[in-house]
Amino acid sequence: MTTSPLAGATIPADPFAARLAAAVKARRTPACIGLDPRYESLPPALLAGSAAPGDTAAVARAFARFCNDVVDVVAPLVPIVKPQLACFEAIGPHGLTALAEVIAHARSRGLLVLADGKRNDIGSTAESYAAGWIGGPWGTDALTVNPYLGLDALEPFVKAAAARHAGVFVLVKTSNPGSRDFQDLEISGKTIYDHVAAGVEGFAAATAAGARYGAVGAVVGATWPRQLDALRAAMPHAWILVPGFGRQGGRAADVRGAFHADGLGALVVSARDVIFAHARPEMNTGLADGQWQTAVDRACHDMIDRLAADTPAASLRT
């Protein structure tokens, strides 16, 4: 590893795409677990002596403990976790301290960390976002970014990712129903998400340096299986991050189009269905409040098994 003079962070020897592929192969699954803590949804065992209204320090401690305990369960099972930055930012400075603790703990357990912040801006502001979140002092391996400001606004993130062996995942076709409002509009005979995908593929191919995948990937929701098929073909050099699996309605069969035949090329995300599995009767059967991590383990295994049964991820098990 070398040190980045800009961010003061170590630069991994291998590019992010190569490290991600190796981690997926090592865990034999493309499952990515979202860390989206919400106080009202925490296991009862963690709410004993619950925080008083406005006690953000206590909420932050609960978030850190909860997420670190989830990480301890899933670290042997999956290659990567995805902390949702908004959940931590919502409780202020104490939340950011908790976020830093969770990122450090995930890295100590051998997990890659994808910061889900959907950041972007122009010029030096974009450069500052990239300096912090892409291989920077936060210690994350990749960041989600919004392409709405244009391809030039993505360039600082792409340059930082290439230089620091980190990754960028660009929103292409998001999982929410309202994505149709703008992303499906047609310009010059193609949808806006098609135009974004072409830009992503250009960046991915340029940063691949002869390898299979580049530093730039795409976000395409599990709720759009037909579009997943087409976008996989349109972005052969890009990893595709697939949110919306489970609680948002995406099934394993819906996400198969995101993969290449050997089970690589896609990361499928589940957050609430796994981390709050204590609230799912089928996962919590026979467990006491203090055994909520067992429910997380069951739900994570269930997700991994479903992906292996209904997608090319089965190839990772051979």
Q: Answer for the pair 311, 317: CB distance below 8 angstroms, yes or no.
A: no
Tally the residues of the chain.
318
pLDDT band for position 153 (50/70/90)?
very high
Active site residue 190: no
Residue 17 has pLDDT above 60, yes or no: yes
pLDDT band for position 267 (50/70/90)?
very high
Range 281-309 average pLDDT: 96
For a pLDDT cut of 90, what percent of the chain falls above it? 89
242, HSE (Cβ side, Cα atoms, 13 Å)? 33
Higher-confidence residue: 101 or 8? 101
Q: Pick from 229, 211, 222, 274: which is nearest to 250 by CA? A: 222
Provide the pLDDT for residue 318: 84
- Per residue in 38-61, pLDDT (tens digit) is 999 999 988 866 677 689 999 999
Provide the pLDDT for residue 251: 85
Provide the pLDDT for residue 8: 52
Range 113-118 average pLDDT: 98
- Pairwise CA distance, residues 224 & 220, whole Å: 8
pLDDT band for position 183 (50/70/90)?
very high
DSSP SS3 for 6? coil
Q: Where exactly are the structural domains of the chain?
A: 11-317
Which residue in the list 118, 159, 173, 190 is annotated as catalytic?
A: 118
Residue 239 has pLDDT above 80, yes or no: yes
Range 221-249 average pLDDT: 91
Range 169-194 average pLDDT: 95
Provide the pLDDT for residue 9: 67
Written as six digits, the tokens of 192 are: 């806006």
Provide the pLDDT for residue 48: 66
Provide the pLDDT for residue 1: 45
In the 3-class helix/strand/coil scheme, how is 53-69 assigned residue by residue? CCCHHHHHHHHHHHHHH
Average confidence score pLDDT of the chain: 94
What DSSP element (H or E) covers 119? strand 112-119
- Per residue in 90-106, pLDDT (tens digit) is 999 999 999 999 999 99
Range 60-88 average pLDDT: 97
| pTM of the predicted protein model | 0.94
- Per residue in 133-151, pLDDT (tens digit) is 999 999 999 999 999 999 9
Range 112-120 average pLDDT: 97
Whole-angstrom CA distances from 5 to 48, 85, 138, 155, 172 are 45, 25, 15, 19, 32
Domain 11-317 has CATH 1.10.150.20: no
Residue 5 has pLDDT above 60, yes or no: no
